[in-house]
């Protein structure tokens, strides 16, 4: 069975991936109208995978949402093109600070991954990957007060963790700190390790109109480590939550992971 990584490798070696954000209505440019006409597309915003030659002519359209169907589509397209040679481009990390190290202004960028779950396993092949930035003042508030065995995170910091409740990458549906309706996270000190746990929830109106409301709620558990000076060395937080889009009749389970390490 093929994995997402196998498809990514096939794309990297044989194609030049480009992401397009199609518009509709009055926002459509003349160039986009021309492409739609050349590609035989309708008036609605097209979705899917399009393969073009260097001159811009359309070779194929398709793909699918599963690795197997996407790989089959790409291989069939390569056969149509006569199996062009592999690209010589080397892969490189584009976000080297995501989940690692301290940035020049003293902030850190935590790596966020959330995905739909079913029966304790991933429900689809669409993980949502994002970042959460903590500024220096927020970092300091994570550390235990001198001599404290237990403490509670400040509300303005606890609300940042509401991002762990949404598996939709579209910002229209994501929980934001200001959407948190509950954010109480307690910490217990065990040597140089701090255990984090608590309940968190959020709610926001759907900006698309109507009476739709986006709702999330769940529990968080985490582990933070500090050095002797009280500086954060690592952070790992997981979530077990329920998330409901404005059009859904019922919520679905989501699992989240927020992680970072200094070195």
* DSSP letter assigned to residue 179: G
Hey, what are 186's tokens?
A: 């307690």
Is 61 contained in some domain?
yes
203 within 8 A of 179, measured Cβ to Cβ: yes
Same domain for 75 and 115? no
Is 96 contained in some domain?
no
Q: What is the predicted pLDDT for the residue at 46?
A: 62
Same domain for 138 and 236? yes
Q: Which one has a higher pLDDT value, 10 or 231?
A: 231
Same domain for 128 and 41? no
CA 129 to chain centre: 2
Query: Of 107, 90, 89, whose CA–CA distance to 98 is shortest?
Result: 107
Is 247 contained in some domain?
yes
Question: Considering only 35-39, 83-87, 259-263, which range has the smallest mean pLDDT?
Answer: 35-39
Same domain for 135 and 219? yes
How many domains does the chain fold into?
2
Q: Which one has a higher pLDDT value, 144 or 16?
A: 144
Q: What is the predicted pLDDT for the residue at 137?
A: 94
Q: What is the predicted pLDDT for the residue at 256?
A: 97
Q: What is the predicted pLDDT for the residue at 171?
A: 86
Same domain for 76 and 185? no
Same domain for 150 and 228? yes
Is 95 contained in some domain?
no
* DSSP letter assigned to residue 87: P
Is 202 contained in some domain?
yes
Q: What is the predicted pLDDT for the residue at 153?
A: 97
Q: What is the predicted pLDDT for the residue at 23?
A: 61
Q: pLDDT, tens digit, for every residue of 125-153?
A: 789 999 999 999 999 999 999 989 999 99
Domain termination site, one of 62, 81, 100:
81
Residues near 25 by beta carbon (within 8 Å), at least 6 away in sequence: none
Same domain for 190 and 245? yes
Is 250 contained in some domain?
yes
Is 26 contained in some domain?
yes
Q: pLDDT, tens digit, for every residue of 25-34?
A: 556 677 777 7
Q: What is the predicted pLDDT for the residue at 49?
A: 85
Q: What is the pTM of this model?
A: 0.75
Q: What is the predicted pLDDT for the residue at 24?
A: 59
Same domain for 131 and 234? yes
Is 38 contained in some domain?
yes
Same domain for 238 and 164? yes
Domain termination site, one of 45, 63, 81:
81
Domain termination site, one of 32, 66, 81:
81
Q: pLDDT, tens digit, for every residue of 79-127?
A: 888 877 888 777 677 789 999 999 999 999 999 999 999 998 898 878 9
> Can you give the residue range of the structural domain that contains 77?
4-81
Same domain for 25 and 73? yes
Q: pLDDT, tens digit, for every residue of 198-239?
A: 999 999 998 776 568 999 999 999 999 999 899 999 999 999
- State mean pLDDT over 28-53: 74
């Amino acid at each position: 069975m093929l994995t997402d990584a196998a498809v990514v490798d096939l794309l990297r070696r044989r194609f030049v991936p480009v992401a397009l954000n199609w518009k509709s209505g009055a926002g459509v440019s003349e160039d986009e109208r021309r492409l739609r006409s050349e590609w035989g597309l309708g008036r609605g915003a097209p979705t899917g995978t399009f393969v073009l030659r260097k001159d811009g002519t359309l070779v194929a359209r398709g793909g699918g949402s599963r690795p197997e169907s996407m790989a089959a589509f790409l291989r069939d397209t390569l056969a149509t093109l006569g199996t062009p040679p592999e690209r010589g481009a080397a892969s490189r990390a584009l976000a080297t600070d995501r989940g690692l190290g301290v940035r020049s202004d003293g902030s850190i960028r935590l790596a966020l991954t959330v995905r739909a779950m079913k029966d304790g396993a991933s429900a689809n092949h669409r993980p949502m990957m994002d970042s959460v930035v903590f500024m220096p003042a927020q970092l300091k508030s994570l550390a235990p007060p001198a001599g404290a065995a237990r403490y509670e995170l400040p509300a303005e910091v606890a609300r940042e963790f509401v991002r762990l409740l949404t598996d939709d990458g579209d910002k229209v549906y994501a929980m934001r700190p200001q959407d948190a309706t509950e954010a109480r996270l307690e910490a217990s000190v065990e040597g140089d390790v701090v255990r984090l746990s608590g309940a968190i929830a959020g709610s926001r109106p759907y900006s698309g109109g109507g009476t739709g409301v986006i709702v999330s709620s769940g529990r968080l558990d985490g582990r933070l480590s500090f050095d002797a000076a009280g500086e954060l060395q690592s952070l790992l937080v997981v979530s077990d939550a329920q998330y409901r889009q404005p059009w859904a009749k019922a919520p679905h389970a989501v699992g989240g992971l927020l992680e970072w390490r200094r070195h």
